Amino acid sequence: MRLLFFDAFSGVSGDMTVGALLALGVDLERVRSELATLPLSGYAVRASEKMVHGIKACKFDVDVATEGEARGHTHAHAHDTGQAHAHRAYADIRAMIGASPLPQRTRETAQAIFARLAEAEARVHGVAVDAVTFHEVGAVDSIADIVGTAICLTALDVDTVYVSALPLGSGTVSSQHGVIPVPAPATVELLRGFPVRVGDGTGELVTPTGAAIVATLARPGAALPPMRIEAIGYGAGSRTLPDRPNLLRLLLGHAAANAAGGDELVEIATNIDDSSPEIYEHVMEQLFAAGARDVWLAPAQMKKNRPGTVLHVLAEPAARDALAALVLRETSAIGLRFHTVQRVVSPRELITVGTEYGAVQVKIAQAADGTVNVAPEYDDCRRVARERGIPLKLIYQAAIAAARR
C-alpha cells in the first residue's frame, strides 16, 4: 500500500501541495500537458527551485494573463489580495472536468475535491450545492492547483493519504464578502473531524483550497502506520513566516506491515448500571475525538439482577491513560479494567469516489486470500443523502458501484 503523508507544520495550500508533489518526482510537463486538455486559456504554469531556511523546495506558480488577476492564493489564498477572479459556477467546473480527456482517476479526484469545497461553501452561505458560485477558487489558477494535485496523485499511484494536525493561523483577511476571520469559514467547515491547532501561527496558514484537498483525500485523525519512506518533497509558499519555514513537507512510501499485518492495542472496559442511556452517545463521541480506535456497548445482567451496560474502548497503548480519565470523568464508572489485545489487520485503503449524487469516501480491504471488501463510509453517505433528499441506500449502492469501477 503506497502512503502519502502531509507533514503540514506550516499549513497547506493548493500551490504548495502541487509544488511538494512535483518535488517528489512528478514531471512538470505531464502536469502542463494534462492541464492543457481543459478548455482554459490565458495562463501558464511553472515550477522553480526555492531555498527556504536552507531547505530546497519547489515553488509552483500559475501566471494568469488577464489584467488584474494576481496569483493571490499562494499561502495566501485569494483572500489576501481582495481582488476578484473570474466567477465560475460549481456546475460549470464539474461539467468541464467531467467532459475532459483526463484519466478517470484524475477526473474523479479533482471532481471529489471540488465537490467537497462546494458543499462547504453551500453550508457557509446557506444555499444549495448546485447554486454555489466560486469566486477566488473558481479562477484559472485555483483550478490548476486542484486538477494539478489530482494529476500528480495519479502519477504517483498513491493509495492512502494521511495528514498531521493542521495549524490554522490567526487574524483576519479580506475577501469578496468583506473582512473575515482566519481560518476562513469554508476552511473550518472542511476540517470538521480533523485534528487542528487553533491560533497556531500568523495569518492564513490553511487555505480553503488546501483544506479541500486534505479533507477529500486524507484520513482525519488516523494514526500513521509504520512506513518505509521512499521520497520526501517540499513545496514552498510565497510569504515569509515569522516563526517557521513556509513549507509543506510530503513523505511518500509504502506501509511497512505485511499483507496480514498485526499490531497491539489495549482494551478498556467498565460495567455501568446506574447511568441514563442518554449519556452514551456523548461519551462515544468524546472517546473517538480523543483517539479511540473503536468504542462499543454490550448489554449485561449485573448484580442484584440489574440490567446494565459494558462500555468497551479499543485504543493505542499510549492513549490508555487519557481515555481512561475521560471515561471516569464523563460516566458514573468508579473503576476500569484493561488488557492488551493482539489483532490481525487486513490491508485497507480509504478512497474518494465520485457518484452522480456527490463525492463519497469508501474503505477497501483485502483479505489474505484475495477477497476484497468494499464499505462506503456511513457519515459521507448520510451527509449526501440529507443534502440531496434521497434514500441512504441509493448512496451506498452508487458508492460501491463507483469503487468497483
* Residue 144, CA distances (Å) to 23, 97, 98, 137, 177 in order: 17, 11, 15, 10, 24
Last residue of a domain, one of 209, 236, 255: 255
Q: Collapsing DSSP states into helix, strand and coil, what is residue 199? A: coil
Closest to 48 measured CA to CA, from 56, 36, 40: 56
Q: What percent of the chain has pLDDT over 90?
A: 55
- Per-residue confidence band for 73, with pLDDT thresholds at 50, 70 and 90: very low
Residues 339 and 210 occupy one common structural domain? no
49 is written with which cell numbers?
Answer: 527551485
For residues 146 and 230, membership in a common domain is answered with: yes
Kindly give, in sequence order, each residue whose CB lies less than 8 Å from that of residue 348, ignoring residues fewer than 6 positions away: 363, 364, 365, 366
Alpha helix stretches (DSSP H) within 166-225: 185-190, 208-217
pLDDT of residue 261: 54
Same domain, 47 and 117: yes
| Planar angle of CA 40, 157, 28, nearest 5 degrees | 40
CA distance 185 to 62: 25
Helices 208-217, 140-156: axis angle to 10 degrees equals 30
Whether residue 272 is found in the same domain as residue 364: no
- Arithmetic mean of pLDDT, 250-272: 78
Q: Which domain holds residue 239?
A: 2-255
Q: Same domain, yes or no, for 223 and 372?
A: no
Nearest to 292 by CA among 310, 268, 308, 273: 268
Cα 239-19-2 angle, rounded to 5 deg: 135
Range ranked top by mean pLDDT from 38-52, 58-72, 176-190: 38-52
- Quick one: pLDDT at residue 98? 93
* CATH number of the domain residue 283 falls in: 3.30.70.1380
What is the structure's pLDDT at 120?
92
**pLDDT value at residue 72:** 35
Rounded CA separation 393/139 (Å): 36
| Residue the block writes with cell 471516569 | 328
Same domain flag for 193 and 281: no
Same domain, 37 and 134: yes
Among 68, 97, 102, which residue's Cα sits nearest to residue 85? 68
Q: Which residues contact 237 (CB under 8 A, 6 or more apart)?
A: 10, 13, 15, 16, 74, 75, 76, 246, 247, 248
Q: Give yes or no for a contact between 130 and 91, defined as CB atoms under 8 angstroms apart.
A: yes
Give the lowest-confidence range in 7-11, 125-129, 271-275: 125-129
CATH of residue 373's domain is: 3.10.20.300
Read off the pLDDT of each residue in 271-296 and give the average, rounded to a whole number. Answer: 91
Q: Which residues contact 397 (CB under 8 A, 6 or more apart)?
A: none
Of 255, 285, 313, which closes a domain? Answer: 255
**Whole-angstrom Cα distance, residue 62 to residue 47?**
9
Who wins on pLDDT, 256 or 147? Answer: 147
- Residue ranges of the alpha helices (H) in 197-305? 208-217, 279-289
CA distance linking residue 139 with residue 148, whole number of Å:
14
What domain count does the chain have?
3
Same domain, residue pair 124 and 161: yes
Which of 45-54, 64-73, 114-123, 218-227 comes out lowest in average pLDDT? 64-73
pLDDT band for position 177 (50/70/90)? low
| Helices marked H in 78-234 | 90-98, 104-125, 140-156, 185-190, 208-217
* Three-point CA angle 344, 290, 229, nearest 5°: 55
More confident residue, 201 or 260: 201
Asked if 231 and 109 sit in the same domain, the reply is yes
- On whether both 62 and 207 belong to a single domain, the answer is yes
Per-residue pLDDT tens over the stretch 321-362: 889 999 999 999 999 999 988 777 777 788 888 898 888 899
Degrees (nearest 5) of the Cα angle 303, 304, 309? 50
In this structure, the answer to whether residues 371 and 333 fall within a common structural domain is no
Check whether 248 has a pLDDT greater than 80.
yes
* pLDDT at residue 80 is higher than 50: no
Of 298, 324, 344, which residue sits at a domain end? 344
The pLDDT score that the predictor gives to residue 246 is 96
Residue 379, SS3 per DSSP: helix
Question: Quick one: 397 and 293 in the same domain?
Answer: no
What mean pLDDT comes out for the span 263-283? Answer: 90
* CA contacts within 13 A on the Cβ side of 121: 22
